[in-house]
Amino acid sequence: MNEIDKYLDEVCRTLGGSHDLREHVREEIKDHLTDAVEANVAKGLSKEDATRKAIEDFGKPEETRSGLESLYGHSLTAFLVDRAMAWKESNMKSGWKWSFTAMAILVTVMAMELLLSFGSFVFIFPRLQDNFQTQGEPLPAIAAAALKGALFLYGPWGWALLIAALVAWGLFEWRSKSENKAVIRLTCTACLTLVVTVVFAFVALGTVVGLAGAASLNYQLDPRPYAITRVSDAAAAMTRLQSAMQAGDKEGAANASYSFMDALSALATPRTARRLIPPKDPQLVERILSLIATMHDQNHWGRNLRDQKDLDELMKTWGLLIKEIQHDESFAAPGAG
């Protein structure tokens, strides 16, 4: 190690700052000393004498260190601040992109889970409940609990919770000045997504248990009483539909039409339809299913019923269905006359 390196070690050993900063200062001093040595050599001194004189002229190590701290302290501080700001800006840009992506994914997951849960409560649970009630059996406990939770979440209390959450979010965005605002926002969204996921898992479990129970119940029990009940429900709905159409009650007609098609939909399976005909005449199954499909097209949940003519066509097809069912002498179909 030459004299210049020893001198630089003594100057920079206790100099404050990071290793990179000390190296930066060391290189700067070394450049000055090298220039001084070259100038002394040009004056006729030997390399050793030129180095010794350059170091003596530069000053003792402690004096040089003190001078550097007082002379270059502000510029070094500015250098560090600039570096820190550049690093922060770079990381903030990158962090914002990742934060936005994570937020978008979490919100999308929540929206899909809520939509699927809502679909289960609207299209699956009511039919499950009706199926179990028709068979005289209670809805499975977990499915019943999920249904009660749905009535709570999708009722007035659910809207109140949603409004409260939106207000709290707005206040947070308005009032919060924290540097960790993005992290707090992302954390809260992640926690909310976890809660929604737990609710969705409970709903999915309730749906699966309910469907499994309904399938087991329907195949264990004789479907004939169920089929007879649904035909009776359809006959009662047809009577209400006639009265509503004659009275010009559009809402009542729509409700009766929906009930009518709901009852018929339960009969639109070969297993159920087969229990409404004599065992010796199995070809009537296709006839019954065809008539039910025709009535679905004629009615389409009330959308195709516009006047008395449309109702007459529906009633004609209904009469044909009742006629086919009455081939079974042990069953007098409701609504037949």
**Per-residue confidence (pLDDT) for residue 240, from 0 to 100:** 92
- Asked if 102 and 175 sit in the same domain, the reply is yes
Residue 42 belongs to some domain of the structure: yes
Torsion angles phi and psi, residue 298, rounded to 5: -70, -30
Per-residue pLDDT tens over the stretch 254-274: 889 888 988 888 788 777 777
Q: What does pLDDT average to over the chain?
A: 76
Residue 31 belongs to some domain of the structure: yes
Other beta carbons within 10 angstroms of residue 11's beta carbon come to: 24
Residue 333 scores a pLDDT above 60:
no
**Per-residue confidence (pLDDT) for residue 183, from 0 to 100:** 77
Point out the domain boundary residue: 187, 219, 251.
219
Closest by Cα among 140, 119, 114, 142 to 129 = 140
Residue 110 scores a pLDDT above 50:
yes
| 3-class DSSP assignment, residue 282 | coil
**Per-residue confidence (pLDDT) for residue 201, from 0 to 100:** 86
Pair 130, 193: CB distance under 8 Å: no
Pair 193, 206: CB distance under 8 Å: no
- Asked if 145 and 30 sit in the same domain, the reply is no
Model confidence, pTM: 0.42
CA distance 89 to 93: 6
Which residues span the domain enclosing 262? 223-325
- Asked if 51 and 109 sit in the same domain, the reply is no
Residue 334 belongs to some domain of the structure: no
- Asked if 241 and 194 sit in the same domain, the reply is no
Pair 42, 34: CB distance under 8 Å: no
- Asked if 318 and 263 sit in the same domain, the reply is yes
Residue 147 scores a pLDDT above 80:
no
Pair 146, 124: CB distance under 8 Å: no
Residue 214 belongs to some domain of the structure: yes
Rounded mean pLDDT of 316-334?
67
- Asked if 101 and 208 sit in the same domain, the reply is yes
Residue 130 belongs to some domain of the structure: yes
Rounded mean pLDDT of 89-95?
53
- Asked if 119 and 144 sit in the same domain, the reply is yes
Q: Please tell me the number of Cα atoms within 13 Å of 37 on its side-chain side.
A: 16
- Asked if 64 and 175 sit in the same domain, the reply is no
Residue 19 belongs to some domain of the structure: yes
Closest by Cα among 246, 242, 269 to 256 = 242
Among 107-111, 274-278, 301-305, 325-329, the range of highest mean pLDDT: 107-111
Residue 335 belongs to some domain of the structure: no
Residue 77 belongs to some domain of the structure: no
- Asked if 122 and 210 sit in the same domain, the reply is yes
Per-residue pLDDT tens over the stretch 293-322: 888 888 876 777 888 888 888 899 888 888
- Decide which of 140 and 74 is more confident: 140
- Asked if 214 and 232 sit in the same domain, the reply is no
- Asked if 227 and 305 sit in the same domain, the reply is yes
Domain count, the chain: 3
The string of DSSP letters for 118-181 reads HHIIIIIHHHHHHHHHHTT-PPPHHHHHHHHHHHHHTSHHHHHHHHHHHHHHHHHHHH---TTH
Pair 100, 189: CB distance under 8 Å: no
Point out the domain boundary residue: 20, 37, 71.
71
Region of poorest pLDDT, from 69-78, 142-151, 242-251, 305-314? 69-78
Pair 228, 331: CB distance under 8 Å: yes
- Asked if 239 and 311 sit in the same domain, the reply is yes
CA distance 105 to 99: 10
> pLDDT band at residue 177, thresholds of 50, 70 and 90?
confident
Alpha helices in the chain (DSSP H): 3-12, 19-42, 47-58, 61-71, 73-119, 125-134, 141-153, 156-175, 181-220, 223-247, 250-265, 270-273, 284-299, 308-325
Per-residue pLDDT tens over the stretch 203-241: 888 888 877 777 666 555 566 777 888 888 889 999 999
Among 82-91, 127-136, 169-178, 227-236, the range of highest mean pLDDT: 227-236
Other beta carbons within 10 angstroms of residue 333's beta carbon come to: 19
CA distance 133 to 150: 19
Cα separation values, 70 from 67, 205, 329, Å: 5, 72, 113
